[in-house]
Amino acid sequence: MAAVMGTLAAAATVVIGLSSPAVAATLFSDDFNDGNASGWTTSGGTWSVVTDGTPAYQQGGTSSDARARAGTSSWTNYTVTAKVKPTAINGSNRFVAVLARVQSSTSYYYLALRSNNTVELKKLVSGSSTTLATGSVTFTLNTTYTLSLQVSGSTLKGTVNGGSTLTATDTQYASGQIGVATFYASARFDDVVVTDSAGPSPSASTSSPTSSPSSSPSSSPSSSPSASPSTSPTTGALYVSPSGTDSAAGTQSNPTTLTSALGRIAAGGTIYMRGGTYNYSSTVTIAPANSGTSSARKTLSAYPGETPVLNFSAQAEDPANRGLALNGNYWHLYGLVVERAGDNGIFVGGSNNIVERTVTRFNHDTGLQLSRIASDTPQSQWPANNLILSAESHDNADSDGEDADGFAAKLTVGSGNVFRYAVSHNNIDDGWDLYTKTDTGPIGVVTIEDSLSYNNGTLSDGSQAGAGDRNGYKLGGEDIAVNHIVRRSIAYHNGKHGFTYNSNPGSLSISNNVSVDNGERNFNFDAGTSVFRNNTSCRFSSGTNDRIIGDADSSNQFWSGTNGSRCTTYSGALGWSYASDGRLVVTFHGVVVTL
């Protein structure tokens, strides 16, 4: 989503504008949920993966400086972002940091958050440091900060929690690895993500359409390639266009079809879809046998700067009529729009996949859903370790109004599935649905983080249908305990509850979330032993007091008839305030959203 602009119910407007790193391809990510730090090289300190609500990479010593680095030395222009929680310091003016263009353990650029309440953009050359830019940031132990360092040519930019940007110019290093570091401090690092500013970028046509849901975009390609049509399939790339043919070579000048390319692409190869509308009447399936490997994913990507729209409006509403079914393993989907399918827009039945910067809209069931491939799929093959990254899902609606969510990982999913930086809005049922039922039993733990759910239960045109649940985040079902994790996420103006246990009596981890003006309760947890930390609940319209059962300490601000001090403005992991006209203004990881 280079930009999103749509007219929503009640004349609310959403404007999402992302800086270039946020629209780039993901080079590297590690949330340490696999319990190890494979691929990281350390120097100094005591490093281990520990559990802090969820797994995190800890440097436990405070008697020296320490570094850990990962990635490749050939990376040039990129942004590295990490969640950093300082836990102890030894002395004064200590720091935690993220590193970029690392040459060695003593040479790199770094963004340092210091215990003297400053943030510094610096370089280290053979152990000698130089300060390039500095600013003020409050430093508090056991508080999680988002540190982001961008390197693009000679320009360096650093932010803390998406706030004011430190900028400097330096030509010392042109490329290098990424890393994290401490200086006489212990800390925990999580959710390390590296995005390439030179990666493919979907155009603004991924925006919510201003036309009515019955209309379809133009079928003409959005632009012509600037590169010469010389790349052949033997180099690992195939090219697809709306006018391609099955028997075509798959070069830029002679593109093939998507279904043909899926059957021909090798592990490590990329299928580039040209812009325009691809009309289908049956499901496009990536079969289980059509898989990449852990070291050589298969990629299905929008051509840089263009937007392919997979349109399934010819399908009738039916559970068999999915749009794009990703049943293979080790795939990376990037920059696709999937719309108007008779059931799910994108269905993920495989494992170890990345689904990035997709838009699923106007489908007749959940926009993007993870579940087992078939009723006889053994539990050991339920979809696991999938990452849904920077995706948007909206205006999905079934005829009875009860089942079409924005995102779902429900009924039959394995462990390790993560939704990150995802936005779900104006779906007829829930924003997220993690439902379980007795005949299939518990599902694996799902993590939802840094995400936004709003206006679910009402479509963008203001219509409602059926008896949908209309929650922002629905986290269970049928009294089956699963210890899901939801952190640093926002629920706003959903038709029923913002965050709800939905009969999940487990020990959920609910931390650093914001819930505002949902129809009934902002937080609804009637059973279980869930742990609540640093959550904020506010109301500027009518609603019911929050219901909390579990471990909730004074770090939370729940609503019980009056607002607390955080409800004027909040500057935690997700900053927000109210505009003069009463609308909610959210600073969402560098994104400004007015609701």
CA distance 333 to 222: 19
* Contacting residues for 130 by C-beta, under 8 A, at least 6 apart: 122, 123, 124
N- to C-terminal Cα distance for the chain?
Answer: 17
Q: What is the distance, to the nearest Å, from the Cα of residue 325 to the centroid of all Cα atoms in its chain?
A: 20
* Overall residue count recorded for the chain in this entry: 595
Tell me the DSSP string of 85-116.
EEEEESSSS-EEEEEEEEEETTEEEEEEEETT
Phi, psi of 339 (to 5 degrees): -140, 155
CB atoms within 10 A of CB 377: 16
DSSP three-state, residue 174 = coil
C-alpha dihedral (388, 424, 214, 262), degrees to nearest 10: 0
Q: Among residues 123, 298, 474, 496, which one is catalytic?
A: 474
Q: What is the largest CA-CA distance in the chain?
A: 69
SS (H, E, C) 337-372: EEECCCCCCEEECCCCCEEECCEEECCCCCCEEECC
Residue 496 annotated among the catalytic residues of the structure: no
Q: What angle do CA 101, 107, 108 make, to 5 degrees?
A: 30
CA distance 141 to 146: 14
Q: 165: exposed, middle or buried (C-beta count within 10 Å: 0-12, 13-18, 19+)? A: middle
CB 365 within 8 A of CB 386: no
User: Which residues pair with residue 24 across a beta bridge?
Assistant: none
Q: Catalytic residue positions?
A: 474
